[in-house]
Homo-oligomer: A and B are copies of this chain.
Amino acid sequence: MKVSFTLAALSAQLNVPVRAGIGPAYNRPADALIIDGLATLENASATKLSFLSNPRYSQLLSTCQAGAVIIHPDLADKTQLPCLLSSSPYVTYAKASQLFAAAIAQHARSEGQTGVHASAVVSPDAVLGKDVCVGPHVVIEAGVSIGDGSCIGAGCFVGARAIIGNHCVMYANATVYHEVVLGDRVIVHAGAVLGADGFGFAFDGQRSVKIAQLGSVHIGSDVEIGAGSSIDRGALDDTVIGDGVKIDNQVQIGHNCIVGDHTVICGCSALAGSTRIGRYCVIGGGVGITGHLSITDRVTISAMSMVTQSITKPGLYSSGTLLQESAQWKRNAVTLGKLSELSRTVRNIQRQQDQDTLPPSGNDYDEHRRD
């Protein structure tokens, strides 16, 4: 099950040079070093590759037991360990992690089934590309198209006329409703639901009349969607997720939202309907964004913020109150409930004080003083 590379092979595949280990311990050439995994600076053993991304942690280098370290050239003199020199150690680590994962995935495939599992129910009207893997108990309805190399995990459902691009992965028990479109290299984690009805009703005075959701969901390429997340289909037009968008677990995206390319949405955040998020935004965890807003590009919103107005200026935004011991919190919370009165009181005091400190000649405020 173990995957391994020589340091030279990693250097070639990651396109970063090797710097040999320094000192008498390194009598063998670094290129031949066998690396069989990645590990943190604290936990790495002699066959692991580690990385230093944040210079704050550079003191961990002195005790690090790793076989080699991905490091910025400017910091390489802080360690005698063999290094892979990268101007972006964190990105190089990310790419290295994919090498180990890809190899592991190959193992997984050779031990699992390929092609369409006998228990899957695939409509004869569905079109499957080359090297498509359909797991046990999958259901693929009529008119579905699945691109080359895509893998549909056990128990997934793909509704009529949905389109899945090339090299997508759906993990177990994910659901794609009819007519939903996924680009290439999309990853959908277990339990995610794409294309359920948007939440639309017209209240007739007595009851909520359902508005059938006749749009769909259109997801770009290189998108990842976390476990248990849901993206609703549009009422009339489509809900649209741009290229490169990364969505964490348990995120809810309402109907007709438009999320710009390369935006990142952390866990448990929710977008109400018809909200438009720009490109390269970062939405922290647990954020709630009410409907029909527009958020410009490169906006970062901190965790658990409540967004009730459009944002037109890139930047970092927050709401919420800080954690306190509950007794103290309660006093403040009660006072907060009377904050506008407190503010009015302060204005009155200030006005009074301004009068008191004025010279005793006549002025606009004097009439108050005579009361």
A335-354 contacts to B (CB < 8 Å): 335-340, 342-343, 345-346, 349-350, 352-353
Is A165 among interface residues, defined by CB-CB distance under 8 A?
Answer: no
- How far is A268 from B306 in the complex, measured between Cα atoms in Å? 13
Is A222 among interface residues, defined by CB-CB distance under 8 A?
Answer: yes
Cβ–Cβ contact A303 & B306, under 8 A: yes
Cβ–Cβ contact A228 & B303, under 8 A: no
Contact size range, A = 35 or more
A237: which B residues are within 8 A, CB to CB? 40, 43
Is A218 among interface residues, defined by CB-CB distance under 8 A?
Answer: no
Is A224 among interface residues, defined by CB-CB distance under 8 A?
Answer: yes
Cβ–Cβ contact A306 & B322, under 8 A: yes
Cβ–Cβ contact B321 & A320, under 8 A: yes
Q: A196-B226, A209-B95 are in contact. Are A155 and B177 (CB under 8 A)?
A: no
- How far is A147 from B143 in the complex, measured between Cα atoms in Å? 30
Measured between C-beta atoms, what is the minimum distance from A15 to chain B in Å? 13
Is A326 among interface residues, defined by CB-CB distance under 8 A?
Answer: yes
Cβ–Cβ contact A173 & B171, under 8 A: no
Is A258 among interface residues, defined by CB-CB distance under 8 A?
Answer: no
Is A260 among interface residues, defined by CB-CB distance under 8 A?
Answer: no
Cβ–Cβ contact A308 & B303, under 8 A: yes
A279-313 contacts to B (CB < 8 Å): 284-286, 288, 290, 301-309, 311
A310-330 contacts to B (CB < 8 Å): 311, 315-330
Measured between C-beta atoms, what is the minimum distance from A36 to chain B in Å? 11
- How far is A40 from B214 in the complex, measured between Cα atoms in Å? 12
Q: A227-B196, A306-B321 are in contact. Are A40 and B326 (CB under 8 A)?
A: no
Minimum CB distance partner of A354 in chain B: B352
Measured between C-beta atoms, what is the minimum distance from A49 to chain B in Å? 10
A203-238 contacts to B (CB < 8 Å): 203-204, 206-214, 222, 224, 226-228, 230, 232, 235-237
- How far is A191 from B177 in the complex, measured between Cα atoms in Å? 12
Cβ–Cβ contact B142 & A111, under 8 A: yes
6 of the cross-chain contacts (CB-CB < 8 Å) are: A117-B121, A121-B136, A172-B175, A197-B224, A305-B323, A321-B336
Contacts A266-B272, A286-B288, A349-B349 known; 13 new A-B pairs at CB < 8 A = A39-B236, A88-B204, A97-B211, A100-B212, A101-B213, A135-B139, A177-B190, A189-B193, A199-B249, A304-B306, A306-B322, A349-B353, A352-B357
